Amino acid sequence: MADSAMLIDLTQDSDSEDQVRAKSPRFFSRLAHRTLSSTIPLKRKSDTDSETTSASSFITAVQQPINNLYPNNNNNDNTNGNDTSNVLFNLKQRSQPYTPSPAPEIPGGVSVVIPSPSAQLKREIDSAEFIPGTKLTAFSQKYYPTDAFEKRASRGAYPAARSVKRAKQPFIIGRPGPFLTEKGRKPVIDMLCDSLRQKLASIDGPPVTVAPGDEKLLAQSVSDFEFINRYKLRAGVKPIEDVFNAGCSCKGICNPSRCTCLTQEENSNERIIPYSTANDASRFWGLSQDFMKRTSMIYECNALCGCPEGCWNRVITHGRSVRLEIFHTGLRGFGLRSPDLIRAGQFIDLYLGEVITSKHADEREKAAVTRNAPSYLFSLDFFNNDDNIYVVDGATFGAPTRFMNHSCNPNCRMFAVSRTHGDQYLYDLAFFALRDIPPNTELTFDYNPHMERVDRVAPGAVPCLCGEANCRGQLWANEKKKKAR
């Protein structure tokens, strides 16, 4: 069987848009046994020279292979009455690209038909101009600039500084710029007041308001202060694990004589009962008059107890029940009062803040002294008084009780309250009324109950401004405020 040669026609996949695709056979037998088929794809005939295009395409592709196969041919065959040499001559005169038709296959070889450029590419080639003497290389700065980034950076650089004699420059005070005078822009103080209202609205319980006329002053004072509803535990502070906590097994209402949450009197089996009902309101539970004279810890029932949420021994858990108002006192800064009548023994609110270690508290105390700023530190040292205690800092985060001022004749007192009985390092600080407090009376407590009265304020001491008849004259004996005990 005779060998076959293969023809690869690239025009089938890359014809230009002005070519007509025609199916052609992929394999041919020897040229001596077949004549050229009319189905071989030819470049589309132009309007001016279709015959020459067809003939030249055919002759260019097949002349050399034919000469190799038929050396005696001598190009004497005629194509449409024209000599082959004439066709080749005409082909050399053509400047348009063309697609040659397939050449007769060479025994054992492969013939390739090369596609011609598209019409758009031909137009671009015809319109292109070449400048004599131009030599384009990859290193040409005109076409391949290597300093493009430097030029771009120089355009965006700051201008060179000018030497200006400040002493000779006039100092002109004009009207404020558009930032402060733009129509529709809310003044900064109004935005601070809006922020203050949002902060006060986030506090749990009855409303906390600001006295009329003091809102702007308070908004500026607490612009960096946040009201919170529970402690914020900082680095180094870890509450005790739940496995070490416990609750009572009471069913229904706790029996004061048997509730295991209550502590016992020393050398006695009697329980210390912190709360009692008011004389004028049987549903009201507050500190008993007897317990107000004590310095004991209040132990309340918690979530682990069998008693219901409405248990009488959950006063702190029930939360604040009085309205509060922040107002400006004058020389003593802001203070706290309530528009409601507060009964003796009634719970007012918790003292909240960031719970930090004693080491961090010392660092904050030093920083406050350096800035001549007040500190709001209270140590949780009811059970321990060492370097491992925790301290509550209400300077940046806290409750409305942060604004309670000192008095040597206070109407409130801070008590320690535990709701996690196994944790001796972390517990609550709660304010209770020591006596009946009329509405709009300032709420105060003693910052330093252990301070003795002095006839003359010592140099560098923190003076007391309470104005009471029994005023001790000073709060601390030196400028550095000690952490309240």
Q: Give the side-chain half-sphere CA count within 13 A for 249.
A: 0
Q: What's residue 443's pLDDT?
A: 97
What predicted TM-score, i.e. pTM, was given to this entire model?
0.62
The percentage of residues in the chain with a pLDDT greater than 70, rounded to a whole number, is 68
**Is 468's pLDDT higher than 50?**
yes
14: confidence class by pLDDT, cuts 50, 70, 90: very low
In angstroms, the CA 25 to CA 230 distance is 89
The pLDDT, as a whole number, for residue 265 is 84
Question: What does the pLDDT read at residue 110?
Answer: 55
Of 49-58, 122-131, 148-157, 219-228, which range is least confident?
A: 49-58
CB 339 within 8 A of CB 439: yes
DSSP string spanning 248-311? ----SS--TTT-TTSPBPTTSS-B---EEE-SS-TT-EEE-HHHHT--PPEE---TTSSS-TT-
Identify the residue whose tokens are 């189905």. 39
Mean pLDDT of 105-123: 67
CB-based burial of residue 120 (10 Å sphere; 0-12 exposed, 13-18 middle, 19+ buried)?
A: exposed
Residue 230 has pLDDT above 90, yes or no: yes
CA–CA distance, 482 with 485 (Å, rounded to integer): 9
Residue-range domains of the chain with CATH: 5-127 (no CATH), 192-239+315-450 (2.170.270.10)
Lowest mean pLDDT among 176-185, 263-272, 288-297, 350-359: 176-185
- Reading the block at residue 162, the tokens are 């000018």
pLDDT of residue 131 exceeding 70: no
pLDDT at 323 over 80: yes
Task: Work out the pLDDT band at 371, boundaries 50, 70, 90.
Answer: confident
Q: What is the dihedral of CA 122, 125, 126, 129, to 10 degrees?
A: 170
Q: What are the catalytic residues?
A: 351, 447
Per-residue pLDDT tens digits for 23-71: 444 443 344 444 444 444 433 444 444 444 444 444 444 455 445 444 4
For 278-298, write each residue's pLDDT tens digit.
Answer: 877 778 899 999 999 998 999
Average pLDDT over residues 75-102: 46
Cβ burial, residue 470 (10 Å; 0-12/13-18/19+)? exposed
